[in-house]
C-alpha cells in the first residue's frame, strides 16, 4: 500500500485498506474454491493493480463454500476501468473453478515462481 502513496495514487496507506474493508463489509469476496478476491475502486488510480498472496496451510476467511483460502488476489482499480476490473474478477473466478489450479499456485516457492505458474495456467484456461 505504501507504493500507492509513493506514486501519488493514495494519500495514505490506510486509504486503500479502508476502501477494501468498506467493500468487504458489503459482501465477502471469498469466492470459494480456495480463492479470495478482495477488490475496491480507488480514485486517482488510472488502471488496475493486483497483489497476490499464497496461504498453503489455508487462511480463515469468510468464503461462499466455507473452505479455507489458499490464494488471495487483491485488486484495486480506478473508476475509469470498470470493464477491466470486472474482467479481472471473472478471470480469477474462472481460475478458482479450474481443477488443481489454486493448489498449484499455493505451492509456489516465491513471487517469481507464482507469476510463472499463473502465466502457464492462464494459457490453458
Domain range for 53: 2-124
Catalytic residue among 39, 55, 98, 104: 39
The verdict on whether 39 is a catalytic residue reads: yes
Write the pLDDT tens digit of every residue in 29-79. 999 999 999 999 887 777 888 889 999 999 999 998 999 999 999 998 888
| pLDDT at site 46 | 79
Q: Which residues pair with 75 in a beta bridge?
A: 39, 50
H helices, E strands: number in the chain:
5, 5
- Cα distance between residue 113 and residue 12, in whole Å: 30
What are the CA-CA distances from residue 111 to residues 30, 51, 60, 106 (Å)?
22, 10, 22, 11
Q: Per-residue pLDDT averaged across 70-92, rounded?
A: 91
DSSP class of residue 38? -
User: CATH number for the domain including 51?
Assistant: 3.40.930.10
How many domains does the chain contain in total?
1
Amino acid at each position: 500500500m505504501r507504493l500507492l502513496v509513493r506514486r501519488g495514487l493514495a494519500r495514505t496507506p490506510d486509504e486503500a485498506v479502508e476502501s477494501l474493508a468498506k467493500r468487504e463489509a458489503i459482501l465477502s469476496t471469498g469466492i470459494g474454491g480456495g480463492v479470495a478476491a478482495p477488490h475496491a475502486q480507488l480514485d486517482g488510480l488510472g488502471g488496475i493493480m493486483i497483489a497476490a498472496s499464497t496461504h498453503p496451510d489455508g487462511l480463515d476467511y469468510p468464503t461462499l463454500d466455507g473452505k479455507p483460502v489458499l490464494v488471495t488476489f487483491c485488486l484495486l482499480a480506478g473508476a475509469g476501468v470498470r470493464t477491466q476490473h470486472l474482467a479481472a474478477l471473472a478471470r480469477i473466478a474462472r481460475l478458482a473453478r479450474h481443477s488443481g489450479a489454486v493448489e498449484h499456485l499455493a505451492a509456489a516457492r516465491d513471487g517469481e515462481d507464482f507469476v510463472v505458474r499463473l502465466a502457464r495456467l492462464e494459457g490453458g484456461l
